[in-house]
Amino acid sequence: MMKHRYVSGFLFSLLFSGISHADVQIKSPEGGVLTFSQVKKGEHYDANAWGKIVFSNKNVQADLSQDDRYYTEDGSSQVSPSGRYLIVNSISGGNLWLEDGSVTWTDRANCSVVDMKNGCITSDWSGEACGYTWVRGKDIIASSEKTDADTFNFTAMRPTLRESKGDFAIMENARVMNIIRCDVPGKGNINDYQQLAKLNKASAKAVRSQIVDYLNSLTMAASITSKASLFTGADENSQTKAYLVAGDNVKVIQRSPDNQWVNVGYINAKGSPLVAWIKADTLK
């Protein structure tokens, strides 16, 4: 059976050779390590093919693998000049039914950039840019070292929670976890994370854990002085049915510009977090 590899019309030549039977690791001076494991062999696999990639550093371990791909690496790939990023090549394949009724196997080459500081997959694409490489001394991907070479702005593709709001209810867990690595919970997005936990049942537990970690990192605490209605935003029109009562302890996230509203986080007795806005006069 003939085997074809197409990358959006661009024939991508893999530069790997030899078979490795042990895990391969790529290390960054940023402290991150990407481990390639579960060697793949067979008719449709290239040399140095791996079924799994795992990112780790002193704080986290994350499986970055996608089930419909295998990864190619012989240990020779280099992180970007700063040590921050690594280009990861992968292959997705499947049967292609032709007009004459015959079937052939078709591969598609993909390339991703992994942030070796936190495991964020900043971009994932296929096409001619998969043949681009790092520019000497710069964290820039280009077609060559020439000054007029085409460049690929992978940092502009870095996923954020805010741009994904329309997909909260349907986002797969792998995408959610990648956004958490790429767009770390903070005062600018914590209310969106609260909404994500509410709408995405599959990832709710993991998202709530991240919210709890963020709230526990805050140092400014306060107490509710009287029944405080909860709002999704700093305005009267966003009131919910929920409320806190006098004596509840909260963490202060931020205040509105006019100081009339306070964004707070509350963790109940079961360890479940709640993030909302309250009126400033209900807080001590």
Q: Which of 179, 204, 229 is the last residue of a domain?
A: 204
Same domain, 106 and 126: yes
Same domain, 8 and 135: yes
Confirm whether 30 is domain-assigned. yes
Q: Which of 147, 170, 204 is the last residue of a domain?
A: 204
Structure tokens given for 166? 């329309």
Same domain, 145 and 175: no
| Position with higher pLDDT, 103 vs 25 | 25
User: Measured between alpha carbons, how far apart are the two ends of the chain, in Å?
Assistant: 74
Buried b (16+ CB within 10 A) or exposed e, 42-60: eebbbebbbebbbbebeee
pLDDT tens for 98-123 read: 777 777 767 888 999 999 999 999 99
Confirm whether 132 is domain-assigned. yes
Which amino acid type is present at position 30? E
Buried b (16+ CB within 10 A) or exposed e, 184-196: ebeeebbbbbbeb
pLDDT recorded at residue 4 = 35
Give me the percent of the chain exceeding a pLDDT of 90: 79
Token pair 């005062």 is found at 187
* Domain CATH number, residue 241: 2.30.30
Tell me the mean pLDDT in the region 195-201: 96
Does the pLDDT value for residue 6 go beyond 70? no
Tell me the mean pLDDT in the region 201-205: 96
Confirm whether 215 is domain-assigned. no
The Cα 58–Cα 84 span in angstroms is 16
Structure tokens given for 145? 């070292």
The Cα 8–Cα 204 span in angstroms is 36
pLDDT tens for 128-155 read: 888 899 999 999 999 998 889 999 999 9
Structure tokens given for 148? 């007029």
pLDDT recorded at residue 284 = 85
Confirm whether 198 is domain-assigned. yes
Question: Which residues share a beta bridge with 261?
Answer: 279
Residue 127's closest CA among 149, 114, 110, 142? 110
Confirm whether 212 is domain-assigned. no
Same domain, 59 and 192: no
Same domain, 243 and 181: no
pLDDT recorded at residue 101 = 72
Q: What is the pTM of this model?
A: 0.84
pLDDT recorded at residue 19 = 39
* Domain CATH number, residue 140: 2.40.128
Give me the percent of the chain exceeding a pLDDT of 70: 91
Confirm whether 57 is domain-assigned. yes
Confirm whether 44 is domain-assigned. yes
pLDDT recorded at residue 128 = 83
Tell me the mean pLDDT in the region 207-232: 97
pLDDT recorded at residue 105 = 62
Q: Which of 3-7, 55-59, 101-105, 274-278 has the lowest mean pLDDT?
A: 3-7
DSSP annotation of 247 = T
Does the pLDDT value for residue 169 go beyond 80? yes
Same domain, 153 and 239: no
By three-state DSSP, how is residue 208 classified?
A: helix
Does the pLDDT value for residue 3 go beyond 60? no
Same domain, 142 and 168: no
Total domains present in the chain: 3
Same domain, 65 and 112: yes
Does the pLDDT value for residue 185 go beyond 50? yes
Confirm whether 234 is domain-assigned. yes
Domain span holding position 229 = 221-282
pLDDT tens for 34-92 read: 999 999 998 888 889 999 999 999 988 999 999 889 999 999 999 999 999 999 999 98
Same domain, 130 and 238: no
Q: In whole angstroms, how far apart are CA 265 and each of 14, 72, 200, 226, 280? A: 50, 44, 20, 16, 14
What average pLDDT does the chain have?
89
pLDDT tier, 214 (very low <50, low <70, confident <90, very high otherwise): very high
Does the pLDDT value for residue 5 go beyond 60? no
Token pair 């909860």 is found at 230
The Cα 263–Cα 276 span in angstroms is 6
Same domain, 199 and 225: no
pLDDT recorded at residue 13 = 29
Does the pLDDT value for residue 7 go beyond 70? no
Same domain, 134 and 69: yes
pLDDT recorded at residue 93 = 73
Same domain, 187 and 101: no
